[in-house]
A and B are shown apart, each in its own frame.
Chain A
Amino acid sequence: MIEQGYNFGYLDENTKRMIRRALLKAVALPGYQVPFGSREMPLPYGWGTGGIQLTASVIGPDDTLKVIDQGADDTTNAVSIRRFFHRVTGVATTERTAEATIIQTRHRVPEATLGEHQILVYQVPMPEPLFRLEPRVAETRRMHALADYGLMHVKLYEDIARHGAVTTSYNYPVMVNQRYLMSPSPIPAFDNPKLDRMPALQLFGAGREKRLYAVPPYTPVRSLDFEDHPFVPVRADAACVICGSRASYLDELIVDDGGTRHFVCSDTDYCASRPPLQEDAA
């Protein structure tokens, strides 16, 4: 059932065109934050309105949509967004990563390698990678223009000097195409290497902050580090209790009052597509 009284994809065609123009600029300037006339959506700001607007602008009747939150298709907000698009577009939805042409995500990059025919749309809360160091947007725009990223390097250096390691574990800043410092959105640093030279187009939408940006296919994306302190992606040193994977990113569960911990794959499709309980050695 497609909702009556609303345009395909909820947004009107002129708004979609405005967003696609901004997306073209974003693709031409990988990692650069393009301001856009973000609209009020029927879902709250901070709950994926940026990603929703980008998906709405690029989706067509032949697309197959997958929506994940924390890597899973059945988390409540992912369910809500998937249902929204089903209502306003009627497109096919899937939980299988390989079958999707558009994947909207919050906080994770799927474990499976994505292909050229796919678009990965990230929901972004704070597009500005420098905001904890410099809250004034007028000032950070100047810093990006001058590629003045010393502040971030000093932050990483101070982390190492005081704690022996960089303390950022998610939303770990990346350098895109050796030019713009970019927030990869709050994905775990474990996922950062997947952004590098990914064959799929990556789009990032921040509705509340009214910014979008992009990483075109096969673009180099490097997590900031130092020669003597290289970037290390971190995952729990454990195996998934369902599929036994030692390669995927894991969620930690507390299963009893004694604090017993179990680990399961955060990517539910990856987990479900593996034969159950076969400990691998990776």
Chain B
Amino acid sequence: MYVAVKGGERAIGNAHAWLDETRRGDPALPELSVQQVEQQLGLAVDRVMAEGSCHDRGLAALAVKQAKGDLIEAAFLLRAYRTTLARFGTSEPVETGAMRIQRRISATYKDLPGGQVLGPTFDYTHRLLDFALAAEREAVPPAAEAEADPTPMPRVTELLAREGLMRREPADTTEPPDLTREPMRFPTSRAGWLQALARGDEGFLLGLGYSTQRGYGNSHPFAGEIRMGEVTVEFTPPELGFAIELGEITVTECQMVNQFAGSKSEPPQFTRGYGLVFGHGERKAMAMALVDRGLRAEELGEPAEAPAQSQEFVLYHCDNVEATGFVEHLKLPHYVDFQSELEKIRTLRKGGGA
């Protein structure tokens, strides 16, 4: 009889022991090391760092292993760990203009200062299963290397802005909110929503970004520039008073160039949508940039009717740790409420008010 699951404590213990066993898999095979996950499943690690909003490849790889490859579960593990960490300050803004580039492409100019750098990309691979990978390979031959090009790489959007064709971003000197410390209030600032999008679910943002391309909040985007590489993180300790380098992180940045019809006070020009994520996360950065532009509809005096243009809709639902918790809580017992519904519907069917 399924009565309130007597012996719940032992059942939970047994379930978790079984989970541990299935995680290990066939004991005849060597166990996956965290270093292997970190090195060979790097994009999974990047996604978990982004959605877990914690830059630590080792911890993210551990989370991927512990979660048996369930990346949302892994992001949740990383977030729960992240909350326990002391916060000792805020870094200086990272300068993505000074990024040490691994990849930089523009879809709006055939050539531009700094050039097009493809970098390590799936683009233009033929998606044919590579059976050679199924067998253990001998050492992979190193890819061809060239000297790093010292030419500074100006941002495409800046080139347009100098010509007056790209709307300048309004300067915002207010302290950005921290959504991990304060609840989000609506309407929230762009800094606030960019934070939420940066840790938002890749799949959800992909779908929303896609919807803006299919007419739900049309924003006519061009991938002005996508760049991926290393940036320096600097921190100013109050006792020193000047910035010191903490280290380097890899980030992906996307600047979308979008049409803007202009308004009473502004001529027709281009506007931007912005995406920035930890690691190599191009799809996520692009989707984020599309949604960012969608959320700017109100600021730009455009009708805001599509889902991707609604702050509350996008920002309340893009967090996959919140979403997965609430969706999956439906697994918890609800028999008290269901019982009250049963009695109510029986009463209503008897045709009597109660």
Contact = CB atoms under 8 A, between A and B. Distances in A.
Interface of A: 6, 10, 12, 35-42, 44-47, 49, 69-72, 74-80, 83, 106-108, 125, 135-138, 160, 163-165, 167, 169-171, 186-190, 208, 210-211, 229, 232, 234-236, 249-253, 255, 264, 266, 268
Contacts of A80: 12
B111 interface: no
Contact of A252 (B79, B86, B325, B342): B342
B341 A169 contact: yes
A186 B352 CA distance: 24
Contact of B328 (A44, A108, A210, A234): A44
Interface string B177-220: 00011111111000000000000000000000000000000000
B5 A164 contact: no
Contacts of A79: 8-9, 12
Contact of A186 (B316, B337, B342, B351): B337
Contact of A37 (B7, B181, B335): B181
Interface size grouping (class) on chain B: 35 or more
Given A76-B11, A249-B336, A70 B4 contact: yes
Nearest to A42: B80
B325 A234 contact: no
A138 B186 contact: yes
21 contacts: A36-B183, A37-B182, A40-B82, A44-B324, A47-B325, A49-B325, A70-B336, A75-B8, A76-B11, A76-B12, A78-B8, A83-B9, A136-B186, A164-B352, A170-B336, A186-B334, A236-B339, A250-B339, A251-B4, A252-B335, A253-B1
Nearest to B342: A252
B142 interface: no
A169 B336 CA distance: 10
B183 A210 contact: yes
Contacts of B348: 163-165, 167
Contacts, number: 163
A72 B4 contact: yes
Contacts of B324: 44-45
Contacts of A232: 354
B329 A46 contact: yes
A75 B3 CA distance: 9
B18 to A, nearest CB: 15
A188 B332 contact: no
Given A125-B326, A164-B353, A190 B340 contact: yes
Interface string B1-34: 1111111110110000000000000000000000
Interface in B73-114: 76, 79-80, 82-84, 86
Contacts of B332: 47, 69, 77, 106
Given A79-B8, A253-B1, A234 B329 contact: no
Contacts of B327: 46
Contact of A75 (B4, B322, B351): B4
A171 B340 CA distance: 10
B336 A234 contact: no
B234 interface: no
Most buried by A among B184, B335, B351: B335
A236 B82 CA distance: 46
B186 A137 contact: yes
The 3 A-B pairs at the shortest CB distance, nearest first, are namely: A45-B325, A46-B329, A44-B325
B343 A169 contact: yes
Contacts of A167: 344, 348
Given A79-B8, A164-B352, A234-B343, A170 B183 contact: no
B141 interface: no
B176 to A, nearest CB: 15
B322 A45 contact: yes
A234 B340 contact: yes
B333 interface: yes
A117 B127 CA distance: 67
B76 A44 contact: yes
A6 B84 CA distance: 8
Contacts of B3: 253, 264
Given A44-B328, A46-B326, A251 B336 contact: yes
